[in-house]
Structure formats: C-alpha cells, structure tokens
C-alpha cells in the first residue's frame, strides 16, 4: 500500500517550480524577440501560485481576516504580473533560482496592500456613520439633486404612513384596558373571610 505523503497537496517542489518559471521566462523572451505575442503561463505555474498564496493566507498573520479570499486573488494576480519581470540570472545563495521565495514575497506584499485598502474602507464607513450626513443618500435626477427627497427621509415617511394607515385605522374603538391585578392585601382578606365563614358553619353544625 502506497504511503500518503506527509507534505500534503499544497507542497511545492522549489526546484521543479523554479525550473518551470525559468523556462517560461526564456520562452517569453524568445516570443518578444520574434515579435510574437508572449505566451501564457502553464497550468503548473498557475496551480503553484494558488498553492503559494493559499498556504500563506493560512499563516497566523492572515488566517483570521474575513476577506482572505480577496487577498489570495490579489496575490495571484500580482504573481502573474510579476513573472514577466522575474530575473532568472540574478545570483542567489544556492546559485539556483529561488522562485518560491520570490513569489511568496510578492504575495506577502499583496496581502498587506489588501489589508490597508480594507482598513481604509472601514474608516470611511465609520466616519460616514459618525457624521450621520443623510445628504449623501439623496436621490439624483440627471445632474440635479432632488432637494428634501433623500432616501432616509423617504424611509421615514413610509414608516409613518404604515403606522397611520395599517395600525391606527384598523378600528375606531379604543383598545381594551388591561385587567387590573388584584392586590395581595385583597387576596389575603378574601382567604380570611372564607376561613371565618367555614368556622362559623362548623360551630353551627356541632
């Protein structure tokens, strides 16, 4: 029975991935020299980008963000754009191209940009709520704004009309009053009175 690899489905062999990226970069150079349209990335490279970005998004720094999928898609897009500028001749510590490290760094900075963008949008929403500027919800008719017909005011009028037409005009009769609760003193007095009557009857029957 074949043993399952402990590395998992998201494992990327850096040597194979680097060779595939280097081959693609050389092919793009040849296409440009021949005046052809640059070739598209292979399925293997595209899948490797997805594995790199998904793996990075599961790190403790990014796993709790609700827009993690947007971060991954931004990173994949950045990797596809960055592969055209990848320098396969750049010297490295091992003397071989290290594509995995290069595109992981590209993905990391893409994540930071998405986080900054989402934070900016959250700050804008917070300022709008704090300012309570209902004029931002005004209706527009072409280039002219309809004065006094904002969305908020319209909703308020609809709500008032609902209560006037549906609730208040269903019946002209006044609503029945809630029955008053008997006080505890009256209950105790009633019990004492019943007990006294029973005692008197017992004395009479003797």
Pair (47, 88) in one structural domain: yes
Pair (119, 165) in one structural domain: no
How far is 153 from 159, CA to CA, in rounded Å? 10
Cβ atoms within 10 A of the Cβ of 106, count?
23
Q: Is residue 9 part of a domain?
A: no
pLDDT of residue 4: 46
Q: What are phi and psi of 148, to 5 degrees?
A: 75, 10
Pair (58, 106) in one structural domain: yes
**Torsion angle of the four alpha carbons 125, 128, 132, 137, in this order, in degrees rounded to the nearest 10:** -90
Pair (25, 125) in one structural domain: yes
173 pLDDT above the threshold of 80: no
Q: Is residue 99 part of a domain?
A: yes
Please classify residue 82 by burial: count the beta carbons closer than 10 Å to its beta carbon, then call 0-12 exposed, 13-18 middle and 19+ buried.
Answer: middle
Q: Is residue 5 part of a domain?
A: no
Q: Is residue 143 part of a domain?
A: yes
H-helix or E-strand spanning residue 134:
none
Q: Is residue 178 part of a domain?
A: no
The pLDDT tens digits for 99-134 are: 999 999 999 999 999 999 999 988 888 888 777 655
What global pTM score does this model have? 0.58
Pair (156, 107) in one structural domain: no
Question: What's the chain's average pLDDT?
Answer: 75
As a residue count, the chain comes to 206
Pair (69, 105) in one structural domain: yes
Q: Is residue 87 part of a domain?
A: yes
The pLDDT tens digits for 180-205 are: 555 555 555 565 655 554 555 455 44
Pair (26, 126) in one structural domain: yes
Q: Which domain holds residue 139?
A: 133-172
Q: Is residue 65 part of a domain?
A: yes
11 pLDDT above the threshold of 90: no
Q: Which residue has the higher pLDDT, 156 or 39?
A: 39
Q: Which residue has the higher pLDDT, 65 or 158?
A: 65
Pair (72, 163) in one structural domain: no
Q: Is residue 118 part of a domain?
A: yes
Q: How many domains does the chain have?
A: 2
Pair (20, 122) in one structural domain: yes
């Amino acid at each position: 029975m074949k043993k399952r690899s402990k590395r998992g489905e998201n494992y990327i062999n850096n040597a194979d991935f680097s060779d595939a990226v280097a081959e693609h970069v050389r092919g793009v150079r040849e296409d440009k020299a021949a005046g052809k349209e640059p070739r598209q990335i292979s399925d293997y490279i595209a899948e490797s980008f997805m594995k790199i970005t998904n793996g990075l998004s599961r790190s403790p720094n990014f796993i709790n963000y609700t827009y993690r999928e947007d971060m991954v898609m931004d990173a994949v897009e950045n990797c596809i754009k960055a592969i055209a500028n990848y320098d396969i001749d750049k010297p490295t510590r091992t003397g071989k191209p290290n594509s995995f490290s290069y595109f992981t760094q590209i993905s990391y900075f893409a994540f930071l940009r998405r986080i900054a963008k989402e934070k900016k949008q959250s700050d804008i929403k917070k300022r709008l709520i704090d300012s309570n500027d209902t004029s931002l919800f005004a209706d527009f008719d072409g280039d002219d704004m309809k004065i006094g017909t904002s969305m908020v005011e319209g909703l308020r009028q609809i709500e008032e009309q609902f209560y006037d037409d549906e609730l208040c005009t269903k019946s002209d009769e006044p609503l029945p009053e809630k029955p008053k609760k008997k006080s505890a003193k009256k209950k105790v007095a009633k019990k004492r009175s019943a007990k006294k009557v029973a005692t008197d009857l017992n004395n009479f029957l003797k």
